[in-house]
Structure formats: structure tokens, C-alpha cells
């Protein structure tokens, strides 16, 4: 796994000596997912990109064909001293509809699938637990659990899309589920 793609990256900040971690979530169009995560306490950054596919350095145009296997996803770098992975994962399940198969609202295709790209066994266990809790509440969850691989940062015009364009997400409305 490349340095860019490593999802459990741990970096030491010389001033704070904080260890950061990364999580990758796919829940439809990455603009809305990124928008919500960037507002969460403890999140240091959220980047839109592509993961889960078969080609290196995919472009938006390639991913939109649905033929590369990639999902539009968001890589979240966070400070585990301020926010837990479980809190992030719960939030993820509350900012998109985990019962929609290969779509979110008007966006249709496998590139819009609901997926947790886990970076280690602990993240996988947390995601499995949360999916079980949602199913016990009657949700027909279709979210897949996929081992994280390379994460390719999307083109610059996709980063902070809603912030730069002065709009609010229309496919990602927060809904309390836990």
C-alpha cells in the first residue's frame, strides 16, 4: 500500500504529539459526505476521492462510467483523542441512506454504493456491530464492508465542493438512527 493510500496512517505532530488515524467511507456522491465530516469535532480533514476499483489514478470521468469498480468515497483523517472511529462510523450511517443499493437519491451506479472501507480488524468489527444494530432496528442495510486499498484523491474541483459553491448537500440529510 502506498503512502498516499495507507488508511491507518499514523503521523506525529511535533507540537501536539497527536497520533492521527484515517477512515474511508462511501455513501453516494462524495460532496455531501465530505461536507458533513468536515464539520465534525475531531476531524482534521475529509478528502473526496476514489477507492475500491481496479485501475490506478482514476479520473472522475472514468469512475462515472461504473466500469472501474471504484466508489466515490471520503478519506477522513481524525484525532482519536477527540473522536472515536465508532462515532465517525455512526455518523456515516446517519448522513446517508444505508438501505439504498448502489445509489443515493438521484445518483445511481456502483460508484455510489454504500461501503465502509476498513483499514484494520478493529474498524471492521465496529462496522459489523453497527450494521447489526441497524438491522436489529429494522433497517435493511446494504452497506458493504471492504478492505481498504489505495485511495485516490479526486480532482481539485471536487474538494470542498459545497463550501466553494455556496450550496447545501441535497442527497445527504442527517437522520438519527442510533
Q: Running DSSP on this structure, what letter comes out for residue 65?
A: T
Would you say the pTM of this structure is higher than 0.75? yes
Strand partners, 117: 24, 146
Residue 160 has a pLDDT of 79
What the chain holds in terms of domains, given with CATH numbers, is: 21-165 (3.30.1060.10)
Phi/psi at 30 (5° precision): -70, -20
Active site residue 64: no
Q: Which of 5, 23, 26, 29 is catalytic?
A: 29
Averaged pLDDT, groups of 10, the chain, 178 residues long = 42 58 96 94 97 97 96 98 98 97 93 98 98 98 98 90 70 88
Residue 170 has a pLDDT of 66
Question: Given the C-alpha cell 478492505, which residue does it identify?
Answer: 147
Three cell numbers written together for 116: 465502509
| Nearest to 119, CA basis, from 127, 129, 130, 110 | 127
Amino acid at each position: 500500500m502506498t503512502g498516499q493510500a495507507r488508511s491507518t496512517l499514523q503521523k506525529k505532530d511535533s507540537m501536539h504529539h497527536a497520533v492521527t488515524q484515517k477512515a474511508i467511507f462511501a455513501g453516494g456522491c462524495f460532496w455531501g459526505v465530505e461536507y458533513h465530516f468536515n464539520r465534525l469535532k475531531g476531524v482534521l480533514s475529509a478528502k473526496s476521492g476514489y477507492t475500491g476499483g481496479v485501475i490506478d489514478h482514476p479520473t472522475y470521468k472514468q469512475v462515472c462510467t461504473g466500469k472501474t469498480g471504484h466508489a466515490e468515497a471520503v478519506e477522513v483523517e481524525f484525532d482519536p483523542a477527540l473522536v472515536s472511529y465508532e462515532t465517525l462510523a455512526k455518523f456515516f450511517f446517519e448522513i446517508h441512506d444505508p438501505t439504498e443499493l448502489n445509489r443515493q437519491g438521484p445518483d445511481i451506479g456502483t460508484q455510489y454504493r454504500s461501503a465502509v472501507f476498513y483499514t484494520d480488524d478493529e474498524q471492521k468489527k465496529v462496522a459489523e456491530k453497527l450494521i447489526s444494530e441497524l438491522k436489529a432496528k429494522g433497517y435493511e442495510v446494504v452497506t458493504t464492508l471492504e478492505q481498504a486499498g489505495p485511495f485516490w484523491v479526486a480532482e481539485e474541483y471536487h474538494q470542498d465542493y459545497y463550501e466553494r459553491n455556496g450550496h447545501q448537500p441535497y442527497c445527504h440529510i442527517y437522520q438519527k438512527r442510533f
